[in-house]
Amino acid sequence: MANDLRFLIVDDFSTMRRIVRNLLKESGFTEADEAEDGVAALHKLRNGKFDFVVSDINMPNMNGFQLLTEIKSDDKLKHLPVLMVTAEARKEDIVAAAQGGAAGYIVKPFTKATLEEKVNLILKKVGLG
């Protein structure tokens, strides 16, 4: 069942989106789409069907925290688990992510094992795993 889940990977660097997508694929999650920032992600989320969002924090136009706020304030999207990804392990970012309703947080660079473990933990928490 988990393999049918649709992921949206949000990052302004195409290389990072590709890395996350490949790591998810190796973990058995083959359904994924990509967005280059929060604005594009929100458009895709509102017009498509997704089960999970993996979002970078630092992006132009709309950053990961703004995207998280938009998702959590939208009745059609607020159920979506959001895994925040960042290059900086700043304590205030971790707190802000948690307070904003993020399901989890990982710091770049991360391994397939870290991503897989975090995604599976979140899926169990929200009843999809």
What's residue 2's pLDDT?
54
Q: Is residue 54 one of the residues assigned to a domain?
A: yes
| Cβ-contact 56, 88 below 8 angstroms | no
1 within domain boundaries: no
**And the tokens for 58?**
């630092």
What is the number of domains present in the chain?
1
Residue 2 lies in a domain: no
**Domain extent at residue 39:** 7-123
- DSSP structure class, residue 59: -
d(CA 6, CA 86): 21
Q: Which of 86, 82, 77, 93 has its CA nearest to residue 118?
A: 82
Q: Show pLDDT as tens, one digit a residue, over the chain (129 residues).
A: 456 899 999 999 999 999 999 999 999 999 999 999 999 999 999 999 999 999 999 999 999 999 999 999 999 999 999 999 988 878 898 899 999 999 999 999 999 999 999 999 999 999 887
pLDDT at res. 129: 76
Q: What is the CATH number of the domain that holds 48?
A: 3.40.50.2300
What's the predicted TM-score (pTM) here? 0.95
- Looking at the domain assignment, is residue 62 inside a domain? yes
Q: How far is it, in rounded angstroms, from Cα 5 to Cα 128?
A: 9
Q: Is residue 26 included in any domain, yes or no?
A: yes
Q: What is the pLDDT of residue 89?
A: 77
